[in-house]
Structure 1
Amino acid sequence: MSYQPLLISFEEAKSLRQHVNSNSLIGQSIAAEIAALEAYMPIGIEIPGHGEAGGYEHNRHKQNYIHLDLAGRLYLITQEPRYLAYAKEMLVEYAKVYPTLELNTSRDSNPPGRLFHQTLNENMWMLYASCAYSCIRHELTEAEQNLIETDLFKLMIELFVDTYAHDFDIVHNHGLWAVAGVGICGYAINDQASVDKALYGLKGDSVSGGFIAQLTQLFSPDGYYMEGPYYHRFSLRPIFLFAEAIERRQPELEIYQLKQEVIKTTSYAVMKTAFPNGVLPALNDSSKTMDINDEGILLATSVCFQRYQQDQTLLAMAKHQNKVWVHSSGETIANAVAQQPDIAGFNWGSLALTDGPAGERGGISILRHRDSHNDDSMALLWYGQHGSDHKLHSALDHGHFDGLHLSLFNHGQEIIHDYGFGRWVNIEPKFGGRYIPENKSYCKQTIAHNTVVVDQASQNQGDTATAEARWGEQHFFMADDQQCQGMSAFVRGYYPGVDQQRTVLMLELEGFEKPVVLDLFRMISEQEHSYDYPVHYSGQIIRTDFDYECHARLAPLGDEHGYQHLWNVAQAKVSGSSLTSWLMGQSYYSLVSSATADSEVIFARTGANDPDFNLRSEPVLLLRQRGSNHLFANAYETHGYFNEAIEASTDARGKISRVNVLHSDDQASVVELVLVDERRIKVAVSNQVGVTAQSENQVTVNGDIIRWQGPVSVI
């Protein structure tokens, strides 16, 4: 038989068939898909009309294509005739209705489809429906094939390639879905002309558009995608589904070897950003719960293992996911997992990824530390380009104003975190499931992130076009010695006349149960400003070493740039140093901060000026300081244990009592950690631009000369 399904050959389906009802990882994955399909089929086939994003009609069309795809693949694997009948009827019913549908009503700047309010969802529908069609085409009559191809798939291709030609060649996440959908559909209906448009763009040059242009232009040399991990993982689905189809139909293109194996590079890049619990960091518009169980990363884990290398970390990823792609690649990695019963949690180690087409637009640095109990700590510093391209259209503006953002993680949880996006995905009563107004007024603003705010205004005046012209620069990255790891970066001009440098150190110190994270945030200006250092945490305040005043009547902290959404709950004047501890889960955390005579601590909470209760109510701690040149020196300590079930609490007080700034200028910063037993630990950091491991540094502190080589010295 000359026609083969796109993603699973008849021979591969036969091999997968032997795993049905088995207890292997691939067997369990097949069983989960069978259960999902069997639960959906009794609902019957319904082709709804138009509806709101996240509404009934939207979700029904979405569930239809998901289960249509399952029915097609599972028919090949199980040979269950009911699955064939279901997939055929679904496609025929859509083919009968599709030509009669008018374009939907767009609720944003995305062009509408005939089924969905935006073409992105329609691209997805066509992609999955085409995969399903390729699985059953050989079982259909010529009349059924003609109906489905003429009245459904060819009309869809015409909509995307002709009607919306201006969006088809867009080099962007949305463009990936468009070209992958058309390309896979073209293969499914033997329309090579449409496949070529999807591969090489409407001009056929592989530069102005098409899948080749997407792969060669979207990602940095390290594979990072400017919109951040949430949208990056979404791009992996069309990449792998189309790439697998290309490899099978046009192997001479060697798609997996394109641009020094860019598909592997970009897959590893998003995997490497994940927190140890698998959740992806919330950079730019991002969910707080999206993790490596996402379908795109699931595909990438299986295919990279089969197509590229038998990597141990991929095995650990698959074990964490506890599922594989129901595909020959899923069978391959599942067999490998079965041969290694003892696989530790995945650990990509410490790393730095560049941002920008040539790696010239800042990036992201990550420090990781695994202790003797296999507990992982992680610190993430972001200093890349603004995560959007407003020149495309406004709906693609997913960037946040958060240069030098910091996230911290240990004991299985994110200690200080990014708020993420403001959206109730697919919950139609909440603004139609779209981004809520507070996404712009709060979530995008700098105060919603763990980075210093100058004069209570967002970076780059909160203007996307201004932000797109700027990005950070790496100062240094050092991770060879787990006892002292560090990363540092500058952003310049994000505020007029103010430069910023953030240095984050992960220090394994004697007597401490977890690494101490030392955060040195340096403000550089000739003029005096107000500086706010926000800390977004979760949990309950346990103690402070200062007195504060709680406000009986709450008022917002400000009028704009996100401050209008923060209640001022309590505040205090502090000097010298300040300590705040909180309990989160079963761990205590302490933040010990340097302070000057006129420092202030503000306890705030999200929820002000939020009449529809769109924002989550979460605590925020602000360290406020006036000055020109200023160094925030903050030590984060994890300590103790709490278990309410057995009424146990140990080490609720940390070991660090004070943090003192001893020296700070363009040459170096020197700070001192004072412990409760009065031991003192000095940390010196070079601020010299271009510092290397061989750089010699020298500063005088209180008459003593401190010399060291390289970026950091712990004394």
Structure 2
Amino acid sequence: MNCLNKLVLCFFCLIFPVALNAQVHPNIMLSKANVPAVRKGVQNYPLLKTSYNKVKSEADKALKTIINVPQPKDGGGGATHEQHKKNYLAILNCGLAYQISGDQKYADYISKLLLTYAAEYEKWPLHPKRKEGHEGGKIFWQSLNDFVWQVYVIQGYDLVYDAISPSDRKTIETHLFLPMMKFFTVDCKPTFDKIHNHGTWNIAAVGMTGYVLNKPEYVQMAIKGSAKDGKTGYLAQIDQLFSPDGYYTEGPYYQRYALLPFVIFAKAIQNHQPELKIFQYRNQLLSKAISTCLQLTYTDGAFFPINDAIKDKTYESAELVYGVDLAYADIKAQPELLDVAQKQREVIVSDAGLKVATDIAQGKAKPFVYTPQLITDGPSGNEGGLGILRYGNNDDQQCLLFKAASQGMGHGHFDRLNILYYDNGVEVFPDYGAARFINIEAKKGGDYLPENKTWAKQTIAHNTLVVDQSSNFKANADAAQQQHPDILYFNADPNLQVISAKETNAYPGVEMLRTTALLKVKELEKSLLLDVFQVHSAKDHQYDLPFWYKGHLVDASFKLNGKTDNLKALGTKYGYEHLWLNSEERAASNGGYVTILNNKRFYTTHFTADSSLMVKVLSLGANDPDLNLLESKAFMLTAPKVKDQTFVSITEAHGQVNSVNETTTGASSTVSDLKLIYSDQNQVKLSFKVKGKIYSYQINYQNKEKFIQLN
């Protein structure tokens, strides 16, 4: 922790022993002073009106249903699990409907529902289907879901606090909220003090409840940890989980998820103790985190699916609606965020939502711009990072994500120096993400599938080098967490965007260097994707470099002799047991190419190396008795027994297929004669032709001023 953060923490320590400010309700997302303005804004500003109508519609649906607080018994996606989720959303929606409409029926519904919980909660044991290896909850199968439940419920309770009788409030607080606080801080103490997104949700639930119930001790614990010494708690979470660039160490998918408790609790602190200036902490880090999270999406809004990610998530998710609104209204009014809010098509019915909807109506929005950038990882920004290269406008943008970040804790994958490539609105070289059908009870109760460990986390599941058919760190997450890659170079010049990194710990005695670039040449409309992957060792190894692709393999420089029967798995462990070997051919001495058709566009990858290569065509699905694995295909370059190896590839996007008119143009690549001229640990020289013109590039690892040059 740097000196400034220590000073801020000392300031928090001095402030918190003092009693909290006089209680006013509501005072979390929607403050009492702003209720009249929000009521008026609902009538005047279209986005706020639409958002409130959605909330009110859901609240009205809840009022038409019978109060249902079932004994918890189901895993994720099961009936009781889903009912308790419906209940916490109903409480928040009815609370907002009460504040805007003033209709007592919404407050009465919340009161009855919470009194029912108060009558049952203390009787419930730990959940009978608690997840193996996870801390069990009482309402849900894991404690995390209980924390989430309370984050939503305490907001709804705050919204109707004054509309519930004092005697009913006492019952709700004595028999529901206070026992829940004991469960969260005592029974779940390891999670409360854990630097992890589960800990963040716990802290936010406890701290927000402390504010609403006027229990300063819970606020103190939330801010400074259970020992109140600042070694854990909210500030420690911000310090240790985010880099100075606002990157959350578990990756974009979990950054989205973790941002919600971070920003909601920050808003609660701001409203109850504005003198603490929480939104200024670490140079407005929460604002950076939201901006960074948005940049960690492709132009369709989908998050880059590295680590344990569900690939359907976009910045339209509720967490980013909260994040964007609060970042704009409470931290820094960046007009680009209004563009995102418009695409989200909703705002929070709150103080922040009012500000966003007002400024959108007044025409203050500016287009959100995706930019090439290096996003560092680690509390001090020195534990590797993510390189993002982008070329073209949002309608048809090439984007390359280069992952040279740290392990990312338990949700991290063994994918050092992995790349993802997008173009034309789709994945070209994708990442598998997580092996999980979230909240689909029939698929292992909605939990991570066994194949998440045996396949999705393993190195071979990614577009990066595998040594001797084993995963980075032999798939040992604790060992991987201790090490990180090093960023060697980054350049965002529009015509020559480059990211380079080195990894020396993933395999004993093996050094890996990868340099990836988007090269703009005048003969072509689209940039070329250049990829140079070097590996050095004193011993012989087998090196496999897979390229997982979307689309159809339509051409290759070598004859494909696909196996028509008797498919066999490629290996026995580290993910190889899940791979069917469809074809295996020796490439020509000067390399070759593979052409893929994806979303009516062709992608030709030319490749060469400094030793002979085998090209293996693979598909996913072996040893999958429950048919859990999703369809995936790859071509893989293999050097069977070498010490040093350099893989060079250039991928060209070209041509178009018009299925309606049955026409095809530009089906052949214009790149040719890819050559690796020279390669060692200090320098790589290569050349290729585009429409007959020779382009020669030189990578100089020892010269950062002239790292990559066009000769």
2:578 aligned to 558, 565, 568, which one? 565
Matched position secondary structure for 1:302 = helix
2:610 & 2:240 partners in 1: Cα distance?
A: 48
1:712 aligned to 680, 684, 708, which one? 708
1:499 aligned to 511, 533, 544, which one? 511
Is 1:381 the counterpart of 2:402 in the alignment? yes
Structure 1 counterpart of 2:35: 13
Structure 2 counterpart of 1:664: 679
Structure 2 counterpart of 1:36: 58
Q: C-alpha displacement at 1:449, in angstroms?
A: 0.5
Residue deviations 1:145-197, cap 9 Å, x none? 11111111001001111222232111211111111001111111121221211
1:313 & 1:632 partners in 2: Cα distance?
A: 40
1:42 & 1:514 partners in 2: Cα distance?
A: 56
Write out aligned runs for 1:471-482 (5 A): 471-479=484-492, 481-482=493-494
2:138 & 2:609 partners in 1: Cα distance?
A: 60
Amino acid in structure 2 at the alignment position of 1:14? P
Q: C-alpha displacement at 1:53, in angstroms?
A: 2.5
- Is the contact between residue 610 and residue 645 of structure 2 (CA under 8 Å) also seen in structure 1? no
Structure 2 counterpart of 1:205: 229
Q: C-alpha displacement at 1:74, in angstroms?
A: 2.1
Structure 1 counterpart of 2:453: 440
2:318 aligned to 281, 284, 295, which one? 295
Structure 1 counterpart of 2:15: none
Residue deviations 1:421-453, cap 9 Å, x none? 111100011011111100000000000011011
Change in Cα spacing, 1:323 to 1:454, as seen in structure 2 (3 Å) is same
Matched position secondary structure for 1:506 = strand
Q: C-alpha displacement at 1:62, in angstroms?
A: 1.2
Structure 2 counterpart of 1:64: 87
1:99 aligned to 122, 125, 137, which one? 122
Matched position secondary structure for 1:649 = strand
Residue deviations 1:10-59, cap 9 Å, x none? 34222222343667222222222223333444333211112223211111
Structure 1 counterpart of 2:657: 642
- Is the contact between residue 167 and residue 175 of structure 1 (CA under 8 Å) also seen in structure 2? yes
1:240 & 1:552 partners in 2: Cα distance?
A: 55
Of 408-417 and 607-616, deviating more is 408-417
Matched position secondary structure for 1:620 = strand
Structure 2 counterpart of 1:178: 202
Q: C-alpha displacement at 1:251, in angstroms?
A: 1.1
1:543 aligned to 555, 564, 568, which one? 555
Is 1:238 the counterpart of 2:261 in the alignment? yes
Write out aligned runs for 1:464-613 (5 A): 464-479=477-492, 481-553=493-565, 554-575=567-588, 576-595=590-609, 598-613=612-627
Structure 2 counterpart of 1:362: 384
Structure 2 counterpart of 1:704: none
Residue deviations 1:286-327, cap 9 Å, x none? 111111112222211111111222223312322322222222
- Is the contact between residue 654 and residue 669 of structure 2 (CA under 8 Å) also seen in structure 1? yes
1:325 & 1:223 partners in 2: Cα distance?
A: 23
Amino acid in structure 2 at the alignment position of 1:227? E
Write out aligned runs for 1:263-412 (5 A): 263-340=286-363, 343-344=366-367, 346-371=368-393, 375-388=396-409, 397-412=410-425
1:192 aligned to 213, 216, 227, which one? 216
Amino acid in structure 2 at the alignment position of 1:663? Y
Change in Cα spacing, 1:634 to 1:226, as seen in structure 2 (3 Å) is same
Q: C-alpha displacement at 1:2, in angstroms?
A: 5.7
Of 73-82 and 571-580, deviating more is 73-82
Matched position secondary structure for 2:478 = helix
Matched position secondary structure for 2:297 = coil
- Is the contact between residue 580 and residue 591 of structure 1 (CA under 8 Å) also seen in structure 2? yes
Is 1:156 the counterpart of 2:180 in the alignment? yes
2:159 & 2:418 partners in 1: Cα distance?
A: 46
Amino acid in structure 2 at the alignment position of 1:196? Q
1:340 & 1:636 partners in 2: Cα distance?
A: 41
Structure 2 counterpart of 1:421: 434
- Is the contact between residue 593 and residue 658 of structure 1 (CA under 8 Å) also seen in structure 2? no
Of 466-475 and 430-439, deviating more is 466-475
Identity among equivalent positions (%) equals 31
1:343 & 1:249 partners in 2: Cα distance?
A: 32
Change in Cα spacing, 1:621 to 1:216, as seen in structure 2 (3 Å) is same
How does the TM-score come out when normalised to structure 1? 0.92
Structure 2 counterpart of 1:3: 24
1:221 & 1:167 partners in 2: Cα distance?
A: 25
- Is the contact between residue 495 and residue 519 of structure 2 (CA under 8 Å) also seen in structure 1? yes
Change in Cα spacing, 1:230 to 1:650, as seen in structure 2 (3 Å) is same
Structure 2, unpaired ranges of 5+ = 1-21
How does the TM-score come out when normalised to structure 2? 0.93
1:55 & 1:658 partners in 2: Cα distance?
A: 58
Write out aligned runs for 1:112-123 (5 A): 112-123=136-147
Is 1:629 the counterpart of 2:644 in the alignment? yes
Residue deviations 1:70-104, cap 9 Å, x none? 11122112223332232222112111111221221
Q: What is the RMSD of the two structures over their aligned residues, measured on CA atoms?
A: 1.8
Change in Cα spacing, 1:606 to 1:36, as seen in structure 2 (3 Å) is farther
Amino acid in structure 2 at the alignment position of 1:153? F
Amino acid in structure 1 at the alignment position of 2:400? A
Matched position secondary structure for 1:490 = strand
Matched position secondary structure for 2:260 = helix
Change in Cα spacing, 1:159 to 1:410, as seen in structure 2 (3 Å) is same
1:97 & 1:609 partners in 2: Cα distance?
A: 45
1:571 & 1:595 partners in 2: Cα distance?
A: 17
- Is the contact between residue 578 and residue 658 of structure 1 (CA under 8 Å) also seen in structure 2? no
Of 418-427 and 186-195, deviating more is 186-195
Matched position secondary structure for 1:18 = helix
Change in Cα spacing, 1:340 to 1:682, as seen in structure 2 (3 Å) is farther
- Is the contact between residue 489 and residue 501 of structure 2 (CA under 8 Å) also seen in structure 1? yes
Change in Cα spacing, 1:541 to 1:341, as seen in structure 2 (3 Å) is farther
Structure 2 counterpart of 1:700: none
Matched position secondary structure for 2:173 = helix
1:251 aligned to 274, 279, 293, which one? 274
Q: C-alpha displacement at 1:468, in angstroms?
A: 1.6
Matched position secondary structure for 1:108 = coil
1:2 & 1:403 partners in 2: Cα distance?
A: 50
1:646 & 1:339 partners in 2: Cα distance?
A: 44
Q: C-alpha displacement at 1:469, in angstroms?
A: 2.0
Matched position secondary structure for 1:129 = helix
Report the count of equivalent residues.
Answer: 684
Amino acid in structure 2 at the alignment position of 1:520? V
Matched position secondary structure for 2:597 = strand
2:278 & 2:266 partners in 1: Cα distance?
A: 6
- Is the contact between residue 487 and residue 504 of structure 1 (CA under 8 Å) also seen in structure 2? yes
- Is the contact between residue 337 and residue 365 of structure 2 (CA under 8 Å) also seen in structure 1? no
Structure 2 counterpart of 1:683: 697
1:611 & 1:441 partners in 2: Cα distance?
A: 13
Q: C-alpha displacement at 1:646, in angstroms?
A: 3.5
Of 346-355 and 481-490, deviating more is 346-355
Q: C-alpha displacement at 1:658, in angstroms?
A: 3.6
Residue deviations 1:230-288, cap 9 Å, x none? 11111111111111111111111111112222222222222221112111111211111
- Is the contact between residue 395 and residue 425 of structure 2 (CA under 8 Å) also seen in structure 1? no
Q: C-alpha displacement at 1:334, in angstroms?
A: 2.3
